[in-house]
A and B are shown apart, each in its own frame.
Chain A
Amino acid sequence: MDDNGGYVIAGFALTGGVLAAYVAWLGVRLRRARRSGAGTEQPRG
């Protein structure tokens, strides 16, 4: 890497970070939805 290597690393790190955060957020929400869904699966009444 030359003098501008820092910008490249920052760019790849930013992309990786954003993607990881988004996927993690999706995963947490999905698990939560599954969990709360399991208890109330059949509507009563």
Chain B
Amino acid sequence: MTSTYSPDGSAHSGGARPGAARVPRWSVLGAATVLALGVQAVLALWVAPADANQGDAQRLMYIHVPAAWLAYLAFTVTAVASVLWLWPRTRSVKWDLVAGASAEVGVVFTALTLALGSLWGRPVWGTWWEWDARLTTTAVLLFLYLGYLALRRTGDSPDERGRRCAIAALIAFADVPVVHFSVTWWETLHQEATVFNPKLETNITGTMAWTLLWSVVAFTILYVYLVRSRTQLAEMQEGLEERELANAIAERIETGESAVTV
């Protein structure tokens, strides 16, 4: 690749560095992700034994649980990055972009968690959806952060967007425990006995426990890879916008079209 851009966003500085410097670091993380996920799939589909009660359907746990963990991790990172943006000493555009990248990855994995939960619930519970406290909270969470992502797309100056979005992220984050609490209450106070009894969890030990642990680690590596790529993309787009604006202004001045005469 003949790119003159390095992955750490140094494109902003305008320094042209050889693209060769980019390749190794990224390949390591990317290769680690692919390897970890490959091993994960083998462990989850072949090595781990089928569950005594649920049979093979329980294998879905090895992707459902890590996906849910990733979603919550991603939204926590968004909240932390938003605090770091709001804190004057650590304020940097980078934190705003990280918050946005992490929220986007979080939304993808929240949706995936819900879909996988459905696929698991169908054979085990007998329904695609159950108004269970965790499912319902996760669904509300998805919409909360879809709203956050929509807010990010409204096109402000980076500073204004940073403030609005950081505050919105923290407000949304604060709402999650309240939603979870109210939904849990709803379930315990009002819900009649439902069609199913077994909960999704099973007590797991041995190979199954190790497989789950490996899955969580693999998904976490994947998270780091995705957020880094997404942040890098956001940085490049931001840099491009700035340069395009600067070029447009320069062109205007050159051709004397500017309304403002200096």
Q: Which residues of A contact B (CB under 8 A)?
A: 1-5, 7-8, 10-12, 14-15, 18-19, 22-23, 26-27, 29-30, 33-38, 40-45
Contacts and interface: CB of A to CB of B under 8 A. Distances in A.
A1 to B, nearest CB: 5
Given A18-B108, A34-B236, A7 B57 contact: yes
Contacts of A5: 56
A44 B122 contact: no
A4 B247 contact: no
A30 B63 CA distance: 27
B29 interface: no
Given A4-B123, A15-B67, A15-B112, A44 B250 contact: yes
Contact of B119 (A11, A19, A36, A37): A11
A23 B91 CA distance: 29
B63 A7 contact: no
Contact of B3 (A2, A22, A27, A34): A34
B230 A41 contact: no
B183 interface: no
B57 A8 contact: yes
Contact of B112 (A14, A34, A35): A14
Contacts of B247: 40, 43-45
A41 B64 contact: no
A31 B44 CA distance: 34
A7 B119 contact: yes
Contact of B120 (A1, A11, A18, A37): A11
A2 B149 CA distance: 40
A33 B231 CA distance: 13
Contacts of A44: 247, 250-251, 254
Contacts of B37: 19
A1 B51 CA distance: 11
B243 A41 contact: yes
Nearest to A5: B56
Contacts of B5: 34, 37-38
